[in-house]
A and B are shown apart, each in its own frame.
Chain A
């Protein structure tokens, strides 16, 4: 009990937010408004690596660091494709990953979106036309949006998500 009290009363372990990036905040707030309107306040993304060089994963992971902290805009990276609205594909589709990638996509409930992140996922990149890959993500999925880059920076990925929101909004508007 004494311990709980001291925890309550002692100085909080906290520090200032590392940076305040106006551009990022602006994009984030727009995304948040769109997510609220289209996805019921939460956009669930499942990341799928089908053969990247791991730099893209690092940048997507960075979206969760305190600089970007995208969860405050309503974006969550989920553990299962069953919970996902968006499949974020990185890397060219390798033959060894093709089956697992298809299964992941099939496990997602409709409506679903696919975003290709990085040059390799967009069109196969340097691997296009070689024996080990099928090509970009569009070889096995209908791709809704491509975010090029080697790898794209976190801010570019976020801008991509905003573009996807526009598309989703248009789709919703067209619904009968």
Chain B
């Protein structure tokens, strides 16, 4: 039985009866706990978890994991600092939990598309990442499907087209937007139902960029997979590569040198700053305040250039590897970063002063796109978006990895949940990350940056706080190759929040609401 097991998780075991239950809990390589359920236990366990305020943070399917059934469904629950993974072995059908945990709806549809698993009682059984052009009964993540070019339908019959929810009533009309948008932005479809100028309902349709990331990684060596993890979402390259390496390192019991962790953390925080600066600029563009926007876009470009100087890539790609880092960053270069950070802080403050003293900006930001705090748990909203709506979640604090136990970031929290709160949270997080980097540079030890990495077989879950929030990664290595790589980015969860955030707002405010949440399409579509 795992040591220091969370009280909530212990309660679940007790609830499931039998004094022997705690023994069935297996501690994972990370602090997660696995509980393999017997058939009759699934339903009561799920309702018990719901009653005890557990949040369903991920649900994914693995084929051939257990001898008992063809598929194993991993339900990942979080409660404060505890992670409980319920493993439900199923063949073809199981019960849907989407009406208890709304965040499960997309997860279940994803499992259905990927593996052909049916969820009884699901309220939404439309296909998710496989659009109309894919053949019926096609399930790409099944092991029996070999990853090779596919012939798809070029023309779609109108009857086979995706059915959006119908919203009817006097004066309700539809505004379809996308997948190709007006700006330089990724593709996705938004179906607005509007009364006058007010948005009554929004339904989003994503996965236009489904590139088969998970299938692509299968059978590859963990080392070759890093390039794939960096392609999950360009501006989260470091976060996703770190999450993947963290999982592999935990499986194989590799401890990486201290210096490498310092550098990784600096890179993670630098990535957060780049992303947040882009958001601040973007939000200001969307409320037509170019004076403020250019302040932050200049700083962002300088950040990108600084990343290039530090790592040789503007997106800090190709430097993180299993066991540490591919190459060291010389002391002189790090000193340049320190000077840059100090200067950046000053200039950020100047920019913020201009913005926050401009009434026309505040007028557009305040009370726009409110995400109520009550939605956080059911939808598993995460990251700065959650923290702007009164949430407390931050992986760096809840499940510290690397050296975040020693360098604890401030827990930022605001209550209003509007665009202004998200702007303010992101601005404060930039300042915190700058402080953190400065502290890290002051304390960075000398030494190796890579330890010998002998990859072993096994599985592990890892969580990393990317700029957008909690990124979850599950890796199963079998015979030295990746058998299953599951990544769930923060955007995958936060996308559903936007359907709620825009209600009652006007369509012209949609871009600023969207930008304030900064959702990655690539990271969702995989």
* Known A51-B210, A52-B522, A133-B211; 17 more pairs at CB < 8 Å: A18-B301, A49-B185, A51-B208, A51-B209, A51-B211, A52-B186, A54-B520, A54-B522, A58-B235, A67-B298, A77-B183, A80-B182, A96-B131, A97-B209, A130-B148, A131-B149, A132-B210
Interface mask (A122-137 → B, CB under 8 Å = 1, otherwise 0): 0000110111111100
Say yes or no: B180 contacts A130, CB within 8 Å. Answer: no
Instruction: State A54–B523 Cα separation when bound (angstroms).
Output: 9
Confirm or deny: B223 has a beta carbon within 8 angstroms of a beta carbon on chain A: no
- Complex Cα distance, B150 from A19, in Å, reads 48
Residues from chain B with a CB closer than 8 A to the CB of A77 are 183-184
What are 14 A-B contacts defined by CB distance under 8 Å? Answer: A53-B230, A53-B231, A54-B186, A61-B184, A65-B294, A65-B300, A79-B183, A94-B208, A95-B133, A95-B210, A96-B525, A99-B156, A127-B212, A132-B150
Q: Is B71 an interface residue (CB 8 A)?
A: no
Task: Say yes or no: B150 contacts A95, CB within 8 Å.
Answer: yes
The complex places the Cα of A54 from the Cα of B149 at a distance, in Å, of 23
Residues of A with C-beta under 8 A to B294:
65-66
Q: Nearest chain B CB to A54's CB is how many angstroms away?
A: 4
The listed residue with most B CB atoms (<10 A of its CB), out of A50, A53, A135, A151, is A53
How far is A100 from B186 in the complex, measured between Cα atoms in Å?
Answer: 13
CB proximity of A112 to chain B, nearest CB, Å: 16
Q: For chain A residues 32-51, which have a beta carbon within 8 Å of chain B?
A: 47-51
Beta-carbon contact of A97 and B228 below 8 Å: no
**CB–CB B133/A99 < 8 A:** yes
Residues of A118-176 contacting chain B, CB below 8 A: 126-127, 129-135, 150-151, 153
Q: In the bound complex, what is the Cα–Cα distance between A91 and B481 (angstroms)?
A: 27
A118 (CB) vs chain B CBs: closest residue? B234
Q: Are B140 and A100 in contact (CB under 8 A)?
A: no
Which residues of A does B touch, CB under 8 Å?
13, 18, 47-62, 65-67, 77, 79-81, 91-92, 94-100, 104, 126-127, 129-135, 150-151, 153
The answer, among A50, A60, A66, A133, for a CB contact under 8 Å with B184, is A60
Contacts of B211 in A (CB 8 A): 51, 91-92, 94, 127, 130, 132-133
Give Cα distance in the complex from A79 to B314, angstroms. 27
- CB of B123 closer than 8 Å to a CB of A: no
> CB distance A151 to B208 under 8 Å?
no
Chain A residues with CB under 8 Å of B297's CB are 62, 65-66
Q: Is B304 interfacial (CB-CB < 8 Å)?
A: yes
Q: Which chain A residues border B235 with CB–CB below 8 Å?
A: 54-55, 58
Which of B180, B212, B304, B314 sits near A48, CB closer than 8 Å? Answer: B180
Contacts A13-B291, A53-B232, A97-B187: A130 and B212 contacting too (C-beta < 8 A)?
yes
B133 to chain A, nearest CB (A): 5
B396 CB–A CB distance under 8 Å: no
Q: Which DSSP category, helix, strand, loop or mixed, fits chain A's interface?
A: mixed
Q: Are B150 and A127 in contact (CB under 8 A)?
A: no
Task: Report B503-526 CB contacts with A as 1/0, cut-off 8 Å.
Answer: 000000000000000001111010
Q: Does B484 contact A (CB under 8 A)?
A: no
Q: B156: which A residues are within 8 A, CB to CB?
A: 99
For residue B392, CB closer than 8 A to chain A, the reply is no
A60 to chain B, nearest CB (A): 5
- Report the minimum CB–CB distance from A67 to chain B (whole Å): 5
In the complex, chain B residues 122-165 whose Cβ is within 8 Å of any chain A Cβ: 129, 131, 133-134, 140, 145, 147-150, 152, 154, 156
- Give min CB distance, A7 to chain B, whole Å: 13
Q: How far is the CA of A80 from the CA of B183 in the complex (A)?
A: 9
A98 to B180, alpha carbons, bound, how many Å?
A: 11
List chain B residues, Cβ under 8 A from A135.
149
Residue from the set A91, A97, A100, A153 with the largest chain B CB neighbour count within 10 Å: A97
Q: Which residues of B contact A153 (CB under 8 A)?
A: 308, 314
User: CB of B317 within 8 A of chain A?
Assistant: yes
B186:A66 contact, CB within 8 angstroms: no
Whether a CB of chain A sits under 8 angstroms from the CB of B377 is: no
Across-interface contacts of A92 in B (CB, < 8 A): 211
* Chain A residues in 8 Å Cβ range of B525: 96
Q: Which of A61, A79, A91 meets B209, CB within 8 Å?
A: A91
Known A-B contacts A65-B301, A67-B301, A130-B215; the reply to A54 vs B210 at CB < 8 A is no
* B234 in contact with A58 (CB, 8 Å): yes
Contact between A130 and B208, CB atoms less than 8 A apart: no
Report chain B residues within 8 Å CB of A94.
208-211
Chain A residue with Cβ nearest B188: A49
CB-CB nearest 10 A-B residue pairs: A55-B234, A132-B212, A79-B182, A65-B297, A54-B234, A96-B131, A53-B234, A53-B231, A54-B522, A47-B184
Residues in B whose Cβ lies below 8 Å from that of A98: 133, 152, 154
